[in-house]
Structure 1
Amino acid sequence: MTTTEEKILLAKYAGTISRWCDLTGNVPDASGAVIKTAAELAAFVKHLERLAAEKRTLPPWKF
C-alpha cells in the first residue's frame, strides 16, 4: 500500500519521464518491475528523510 506522499512522488516521476519522452521521442520500459523499483526508491528516500529529521532532533554528543 502506498501513502499519499509516495503516490505524489510517483506521479512527479511519471510526469518527468513523460516530458523526457516528448522531448526525445524515446519510450522507457514501464513494466511492473520498473514501477515497483520506483516505489521502493520512494520508500527508501522517505526512510532517509525520517532518519535525517530524527538526527536533527537529537542533542549533540558531549565528551
Structure 2
Amino acid sequence: MKITLEPERCVGAGHCVLSAPEVFDQDESDGVVVLLDTEPGAALADAVHEAADLCPARAILVGGEDGTP
C-alpha cells in the first residue's frame, strides 16, 4: 500500500491521526496532516483505509494494493 496526501485540501479535522497515529500526524502550527509512513505494512491497512474514509476533505489517497499508483 502506498499513501499520498493532498495537504492543500486538509481541513485539520484530525480523524486520520485518531485512526492511524502510526501513519499520520498533524502540523503543530496549522493542523495540516503530516505523513509519517508512505508505505505502511499490511497490519495497518484497515486503519489507513478508515482514516481515508473519514477524511472530510478527501486529502488522503491510498493506492498500490492492486497495482495502482
| TM-score bracket relative to the smaller structure | under 0.3
Structure of greater relative contact order (alpha carbons < 8 Å, 6+ residues apart): 2
TM-score norm. by structure 2 comes to 0.25
Structure with the higher strand share, 1 or 2: 2
Structure with the higher helix share, 1 or 2: 1
TM-score norm. by structure 1 comes to 0.27
